Structure 1
Amino acid sequence: MTIAGSDSGGGAGIQADMRTFALLGVHACVAVTAVTVQNTTGVTGFQEISPDIVAAQMRSVVPDIEVSAVKTGMLASDPIITAIAETAPDLGIGRDADVPLVVDPVCASMHGDALLATEALGALKELLFPLATVVTPNLDEVRLLTGIDVVDAASQRQAAVALHALGPQWALVKGGHLRGSDLSPDLLYDGDSFLEFPARRIDTAHDHGAGDTLAAAITAALAHGYPLPDAIAFAKSWVTRGLAAAYPLGAGHGPVNPLWRLTAD
């Protein structure tokens, strides 16, 4: 299940999540949190869904369809985050429950357009992170959440420790925005040890939806029963292939393309 916003341009949000879920062999359920007005050049507006309706979508779907893994994306506001955090434990969702929860803390679009109210950062950290099996911020989100500016391997480790201290079972610090590296190094931390997931950096301007696709692939792998580190490794490989197959679209940034799998040998 994805609990996230709709991207009218089709490159990210629930659209990217549902593509990824389908291609990885899991049925996609949705709790929509917001409807965005966006295209390949940016976000010009969005309308939040009522928190009660977000929670009602979860309560309607999860017990009926027996959801096996859940991810969050754009959550927009403090009341929506609060509604999700109050509802998830009742449905057996979270780090200490039957259904793992992947929290992708979407704060802004790739163009820098705000997708989360500033005052909602506290609710994200205090209410949702302690429920998370894993959190998957990019480096801009890490800076907002921890105040740490990741510029090298040492500061990436420092950020992973700070994120883990906020309560998730695992913290994944993505390195895709670490532009000074020839690799795209992701770092996973469980409170005791670090695991590194390097991958070659793909030279493309078309990376819209990369974070959503990675988190969705992790969620799909967890639904298939992968242990968390194996799910990360699989998702990292998946999104790297999607970036290599990305295509231009519109006047801005094209999307990561998980459809590579349909034509792969």
Structure 2
Amino acid sequence: MKPARILIIAGSDSGGGAGIQADLKTVTMLGGFGMTAITAITAQNTLGVQAVHPIPTDMVLAQIGSCISDIGVDAVKIGMIGSADTAIAVAERLAALDNVPIVFDPVMVATSGSLLADDATIAAFERLMAIATVVTPNIPELAALGGDSIAVRFGTHVLAKGGHGEGPMLTDRLLGPDGLLKAWSNSRIDTPHSHGTGCTLASAIATGLGQQLDLVPSIERARQYVREALALAPGFGSGHGPMGAPLGFHAHA
């Protein structure tokens, strides 16, 4: 059986901990085949984002078109989008896909605190939420997008991540248009090396959906993968370092 084809639309992280680099690693580890449309190039390390170079919208669309027209696509993961124009154009292009699941991680701020989306881009996120199968905001992102009501407003599912909450336990909530569908609580893994958690989780969910798993099993496998990756963090850099790679994870997931 051929691997699921996962199209990743996101920014590049030169430090390898998040973005396209984390996405490709995750898709590969979970048995998928990753393709990319790069929206921005960042100069980035564990201490933060030193520079950002957005890719022009027409080039982002060209990358998407090249992948879809020849190789095909079983699921899409959207991360850092680069600009409001790109967000709108990508939403229009993906809306034309037939029955392809879309995971949208509304990246606004990096783990280090660096801003990765301006106000116009955040406003344009509404177009992407309207076509997404599931949106995966953390607590600050959820608040900026309008809170729990976004599942109802956009007719989508929202995995509200609890990692930015206080205390020794964290809870992730899956919301649908009709309210809370499921919640998962785990003890917090105490590590500063959590760079790329959001990218990794969203890519893992997209891989599951591309492999024709239902949404809840895709989320559960993705959460397990992220927790193992956090526990295996190699400790690189002097800031928020990258996670590890759970070798062979897909063999027992």
* TM-score calculated relative to the size of structure 2: 0.92
- The answer to whether the 8 A contact 1:186-1:198 is kept is yes
* 8 Å CA contact 1:197, 1:236 repeated in 2: no
**Equivalent residues in 2 for 1:188-207, closer than 5 Å:** 188-194=174-180, 195-207=182-194
Equivalence for 1:221: 208
1:180-219 CA distance string (max 9 Å, x none): 2x22210001122421122221011100000000001000
Match of 1:184 in 2: 170
Structure 1 partner of 2:104: 103
Q: Identify the match of residue 159 of structure 2 among 172, 179, 182.
A: 172
Q: Match of 2:143?
A: 143
Distance 1:190 1:169 in 2: 6
Residues 173, 186 of structure 1: 8 Å contact kept: yes
2:33 partner SS:
coil
Larger proportion of strand: 2
Greater shift in the superposed pair: 50-59 or 251-260 = 251-260
Q: Is contact 1:35–1:48 with CA below 8 Å preserved after alignment? A: yes
Normalized against structure 1, the TM-score is what? 0.88
Equivalent position amino acid for 2:124 in 1: A
Structure 2 portions without partners, runs of 5+: 1-6
Choose which of 24, 37, 53 in structure 2 pairs with 1:18.
24
- Structure-to-structure mapping, 1:1-265, within 5 angstroms: 1-90=7-96, 92=97, 97-125=98-126, 127-146=127-146, 159-160=147-148, 162-180=149-167, 182-194=168-180, 195-261=182-248
Residues 18 and 121 (structure 1), Cα distance of their counterparts in 2 relative to 1, 3 Å cut: same
Q: In structure 2, how many angstroms separate the alpha carbons of the residues matched to 1:241 and 1:184?
A: 16
Q: Distance in 2 between matches of 1:47 and 1:36?
A: 6
Q: SS of the counterpart of 2:34?
A: coil
Code of the residue aligned with 2:83 in structure 1: it is S
Does the CA-based 8 Å contact 2:228-2:246 persist in structure 1?
Answer: no
Deviation at 1:260, TM superposition (A): 4.4
Name the count of aligned residue pairs. 244
Deviates more, 1:251-260 or 1:69-78: 251-260
* Runs of 4+, deviation exceeding 4 Å: none
Deviations 1:103-152 (A, max 9, x none): 00000111111111222111112x11100000000111112212xxxxxx
The alignment yields a C-alpha RMSD, in angstroms, of: 1.5
Whether the 8 Å CA contact 1:239–1:258 is kept in 2: the answer is no
* Residue 168 to residue 19, structure 1, CA distance change in 2 (3 Å): farther
Bigger RCO of structures 1 and 2 (CA < 8 A, at least 6 apart): 2
> SS at 1:38's partner residue?
strand
CA distance in structure 2 between the aligned counterparts of 1:124 and 1:138, rounded to whole angstroms: 15
Question: What CA distance in whole angstroms lies between the structure 2 residues aligned with 1:4 and 1:241?
Answer: 23
Gapped runs of 5+ residues in structure 1? Answer: 147-158
Query: Which amino acid counterpart does residue 188 of structure 1 have in structure 2?
Result: L
Shift of 1:258: 2.5
